[in-house]
């Protein structure tokens, strides 16, 4: 059974339910938790730690980002990301280099091995996402993403 099916429903025509069933922060967190948990089952089968999957997904399009930028996207403290990145460098998944313009900044990107590992995981993530939003329809799925991006833009801390 899909974990989302167990979530409480409160359609417009129903009387308001408990506060928590209509509280945006809770709904966002619960949806994220349920959807991520479903996909993380697949990630764990590859024996890749979920944090490393998140780094792979962040860099899967070939970007070279600073450790701080990756940490912000992956939603973990920079010190934690530094340790994760070091393990990924040692295992051959990441390449690390000092930024030419600012030598205080370390940038990372996926190695050929990292790109090869990321490709099928990203494909599986896209398939999982399609299954998750299937019942919404294309227009609602696009609207949901657009609204979430706007919320993120409005509440993200300013870039340094």
To the nearest 10°, report the CA torsion of 77, 83, 85, 88.
Answer: -140
pLDDT, one tens digit per residue, over 47-83 is 999 999 999 999 999 999 999 999 999 999 999 999 9
pLDDT(94) > 80: yes
Task: Report percent pLDDT > 90 for the chain.
Answer: 80
Whole-number pLDDT of residue 129: 95
Length of the chain: 160
**134 — phi, psi (to 5°)?**
-50, -45
- Where in the chain does DSSP place strands (E)? 65-66, 94-98, 106-110
Q: Considering Cα of 149, then 24, then 58, then 44, what sign does the dihedral take?
A: negative
Show me where the domains of the chain are located: 50-153
Determine what percent of the chain is predicted with pLDDT higher than 70: 89
- Alpha-carbon span 96 to 66, nearest angstrom: 9
Averaged pLDDT of the chain: 89
pLDDT value at 1 more than 90: no
Class of domain 50-153: mainly alpha
pTM reported for the whole predicted model: 0.82
Higher pLDDT, 88 or 2: 88
């Amino acid at each position: 059974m899909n974990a989302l099916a167990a979530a409480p429903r409160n359609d417009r025509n129903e009387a308001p339910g408990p506060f928590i069933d209509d509280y945006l922060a809770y709904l966002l967190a619960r949806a994220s938790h349920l959807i991520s948990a479903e996909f993380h089952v697949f990630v764990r089968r590859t024996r890749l730690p979920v944090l490393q999957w998140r780094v792979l997904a962040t860099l899967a399009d070939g970007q070279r980002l600073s450790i701080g930028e990756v940490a912000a996207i992956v939603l973990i403290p920079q010190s934690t990301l530094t340790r994760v990145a070091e393990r990924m460098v040692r295992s051959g998944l990441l390449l690390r280099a000092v930024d030419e313009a600012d030598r205080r900044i370390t940038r990372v990107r996926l190695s050929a091995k990292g790109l090869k590992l990321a490709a099928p995981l990203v494909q599986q993530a896209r398939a999982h996402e399609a299954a998750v939003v299937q019942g919404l329809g294309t227009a609602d799925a696009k609207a949901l993403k657009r609204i979430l991006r706007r919320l993120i833009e409005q509440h993200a801390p300013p870039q340094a």
